[in-house]
Amino acid sequence: MFELLTGTGLAASAGLNAYIPLLTVGLLARYTDLIDLPSGWAWLGDGWVLIILAALLSVEVVADKVPMLDHVNDVVQTVVRPTAGGLAFGAGSTAETVTVSDPGSFFGSHEWVPVATGVLIAFGVHLLKSAARPIINATTAGVGAPVASTAEDATSALVSVVAILLPVLVLLFLVGLLAFWFWFRRRRADRRRELEAARAAGFRV
Per-residue pLDDT tens over the stretch 121-157: 999 999 888 888 887 877 787 778 888 889 889 989 9
Instruction: Give the span between the Cα atoms of 168 and 145, in whole angstroms.
Output: 31
Query: What's the whole-number mean pLDDT along residues 36-55?
Result: 87
Phi, psi of 36, rounded to the nearest 5 degrees? -115, 95
Would you kindly state where each structural domain of the chain is located, as residue ranges?
2-180
Helix and strand numbers, DSSP H then E, in the chain: 8, 0
Does the pTM surpass 0.75? The reply is yes
For the chain, report the end-to-end CA distance as a whole number of angstroms: 61
Q: Using alpha carbons, list the distances in angstroms from residue 59 to 2, 48, 52, 56, 114.
A: 32, 17, 11, 5, 28
Q: How far apart are CA 144 and CA 134, in angstroms?
A: 10
* Cα–Cα distance list, 7 to 80, 185, 192 (Å): 17, 27, 36
Q: Does residue 122 or residue 5 have the better pLDDT?
A: 122
Instruction: List Cα–Cα distances, 72 to 75, 103, 124, 135, in angstroms.
Output: 5, 34, 18, 15
Crossing angle of helices 47-63 and 69-92, rounded to 10°? 150
**pLDDT in the model for residue 19:** 94
pLDDT level of residue 101 (50, 70, 90 thresholds): very low
